Amino acid sequence: MPHQINIFIENRPGRLRSITEILTEAKVNIRAFTIQDRGDFGLIKLIVDKPKQGQLALADRQFACALKDVLAVSIPDRPGNLHKLTSVFFEHNINIVDAYGFVLEPNKEGVCCIEFENAEDLERCKALVVKEGFKVLEDEELYEF
Amino acid sequence: MDEIRYWNKERETMDRDARRALQLELLRQTVGSALKTQFYRRRLEKAGIHSLDDVRSLDDLKRVPFTTKDDLRENYPRGLLAADPTEVVRIHTSSGTTGTPTVIYHTQEDLNSWTELVARSIVATGAGPGDVFQNMMTYGMFTGGLGLHYGAERVGLTVIPVGGGNTKRQIQLMKDFRTTVLHVTPSYCLHVHTKLDEAGVTRGELALRKAYMGAEPHSENTRLKVEELYGIDVYNSYGLSEMNGPGVAFECVYKNGMHAWEDAYVLEIIDPATGENLGDEQEGEVVFTTLQRKATPLLRYRTRDLASVFGGECPCGRTCRRLSRITGRSDDMLIVGGVNVFPSQIEEVVMRIPEVGTNYQIRLTKEGSLDRLTVQVEIYSKMFSGNVRQLDALRNRIKEELKASIIINPAVELHEPGSLPVYEGKAKRVVDERPKL
C-alpha cells in the first residue's frame, strides 16, 4: 500500500518552507501535497518519491510526522468517473477521513488518494473499488508516475 | 461621604490593650482546638505547648512553626479537622498547588463569626438596609460569593445572588432592580462597563453608588479608573479561603487601607526568606492565625501575599491596624480572572499526557479587560500518529483536564516539537503579558 507523509505544522509563515527546504536537501521529490487545516495548526500531507527517506529527514529535524497508508485509485479523466468512485463509498456506507485528487495525465488519467479511519476500512474499500473496475496504484506506480 | 456607622462598635473601636487581652484569650481557645488534631498536637508539643495553659502571652505564638498550604494539602481531607464531624455544617475546598486540594471546615459558630466579620465590613463602607447588593462573584466552593452573600443579608441589604459571568444579564439586573452596591473583580468590573453601550443602558439608568473589589490585587489607579468610569466609590476587599474568605480586611468610607479584623485574626508580617517578624510599615508576607474558628483552626498560616501593615488613627474611629494593598506574591501563584492558579497544577496535567513533549509555556494576556490563559504545549514526535483527529482529541483532553484542575477555561495551543523557547537553567514557563491592574 502506498504511503503519504503526514506532518504536524503550526499555521504561521515559513513553516511550509522549512519542510520544502528539508526535502530539497534530502533530494526527495514531492509529487503531490495537500493541507488539512485546523486553524492555528494543520497537517501537511505529501506524496513523495521516497517516503521513508523523506520522513526520516523531517524527523531528524524534530518534525512530528508519520507515514500513513493511503488508497490511491486511478480514475480515467472523464466526466462522471469520480462520481462513480464516491458512489461506491456511499453505497457501502464507508466514511473517509480525508481525500484529495490530482491529474496524472490530462484527459487520460487522474488519481484520488484516500485516507481511512483504520486498515480494515482501507482493505475493504480497496476490494470494492477493484470489483467496480477501478485500478488501484501500488507504491512505485504512485511514487514514480 | 456616608456617615460613620458600626456593626459591632465595641469590637471595632476597642483600645489596643483591650484587644490584645481579647486576642490572648481567643488564642488560648484556638490552641486548645488545634491540640485536638494530630498535626498541631505534634507541632505544638515540640514547641513546648502541651495545653492551652502554656500560652501565657501573645508572644508565645511565635514559638509555633508556620502552617503552609502544603501542610493543608498533606493533611487533606480530615487531618486538620478539630471539631466533631457532626458539628461541621459547611466544607470549602480550594485547589492546592498540585492535584490535591485543601479543605476548610466550618461549624455553625464558625460561619456565624465569618458572617459577622463580613457584616461589619459592609457597614464600614456605609452600606446598609435599602441598598441593593449585586454579588457578581462566583458562588460555590469559591468563598468570594457565599462570604459576602450572608454578610449582606445579615446587614439587611437586598441581595441579588447572580454570581459571575453573563454580562448582559448583569446589566439587566442592575437596571431593573436599581442595584446600588456591586461585589466584583476589578477586571470584570471594567469589562461590564465596556458592555453598557452594547446593552443600550446609560449610566443615568443605573443607581450604582459603591463597588467592593476583591479577589485580584489591583492598584490605586485601577480603583480611580473604576470610580471615574462608573461615578461610584470603590472599596478594596481582602480575604482568602484559608481565613474563611472575604471579610478578613476591608476598607472603610475613608478608603485609606483595609481594616484587618484583629479580634478574629492575629496578623503578622514576616520576611518571606527568613521567617523573621517585621515591624509595621515594612513590606513582607502576610501571616494569619485564626482566633474565631473551631472546625479548622490555623496557626500562623503563610498566605504568600505580600503587603505591609500600618497603625495610626483612622478618622472612622476603628482601632485595628490596616493592611496595605497586596503588592505581589512570595510564591509563583497566578491570579487569573480572580481565580488562583499555580503553574505546578498546569505542569502536572500537561506532563501526564503522553502525546505532549517536555516543553510547555503558560501565557497570560488580556482580551479587552478580561484575563486569558493560554497553555502552549509541544507535540511529542514519537507519539504522533499522523491523524488530525488525534490532535483535536489531544487539545480537547488537555483543555478538559486543565479545566477540571484549575477551574478556569484555558486556551490550548499545539506547537511543533522544539518550537517553544528553551531556557538555560530554570525554564521560564510563565509569560505574563497583562498590563498591571
Contact A41 B381 (CB under 8 A): no
Given this model, what pLDDT does residue B5 score? 95
Give how far A116 is from chain B: nearest CA, Å: 10
Q: Decide if pLDDT at A125 tops 80.
A: yes
Segment B154-198, tens digit of pLDDT? 999 999 999 999 999 999 999 999 999 999 999 899 989 999 999
**What integer pLDDT is reported at residue B207 of this predicted model?**
97
Using CB atoms, pick whichever of A36, A63, A67 lies closest to residue B416.
A63
Closest Cα in chain A, distance from residue B29 (Å): 59
Q: Assign B338 a pLDDT band (cuts: 50, 70, 90).
A: confident
Residue of A nearest to B392 (CA): A38
Please tell me the predicted confidence (pLDDT) of residue B213. Answer: 95
Q: Which domains does chain B have, with CATH numbers?
A: 9-331 (3.40.50.12780), 336-432 (3.30.300.30)
Which of B389, B416, B418 has its CB closest to that of A8? B416
Which residues of B make CB contacts under 8 Å with A?
Answer: 379-381, 384-389, 391-392, 413-419
- Asked whether the beta carbons of residue B391 and residue A8 sit closer than 8 angstroms, the reply is yes
Chain B residue with CA closest to A44: the answer is B386
How many cross-chain Cβ pairs, A to B, lie less than 8 Å apart?
54
Q: Which residues in A lie closer than 8 A to residue B386 (C-beta atoms)?
A: 6, 43, 65-68
Nearest CA in chain B to A41: B414
Per-residue pLDDT, B426: 62
pTM of the model as a whole: 0.82
How does pLDDT run across B264-288, given as a tens digit for each residue?
A: 999 999 999 999 999 999 999 999 9
Instruction: Classify the complex by whether its ipTM is higher than 0.90, answering yes or no.
Output: no
Q: Smallest Cβ distance to B386: which of A6, A15, A41?
A: A6
CB contact under 8 A, A40 and B413: yes
Tell me: pLDDT of A36 over 90. Answer: yes
Shortest Cα distance, chain B CAs vs residue A36, angstroms: 8
Q: Chain B: give the shortest CA distance to residue A84, in Å.
A: 27
Residue among B77, B107, B92, B108 at smallest CA distance from B143: B92
Contact A97 B389 (CB under 8 A): yes
- Please check the confidence at residue A145 and state whether its pLDDT lies above 80: no
- Please give the pLDDT value at position B407: 82
User: Which chain B residue shows the shortest CA-CA distance from A46?
Assistant: B386
The pLDDT value recorded for residue B302 is 97
Nearest by CB to A62, from B381, B413, B414: name it: B381
The reply to whether residue A97 touches residue B387, judged by beta carbons under 8 angstroms, is yes
Across the interface, do A63 and B417 touch by the CB < 8 Å criterion?
Answer: yes
Express each pLDDT in B17-57 by its tens digit. 999 999 999 999 999 999 999 999 999 999 999 999 999 99
Whether B130 shows a pLDDT value over 70: the answer reads yes
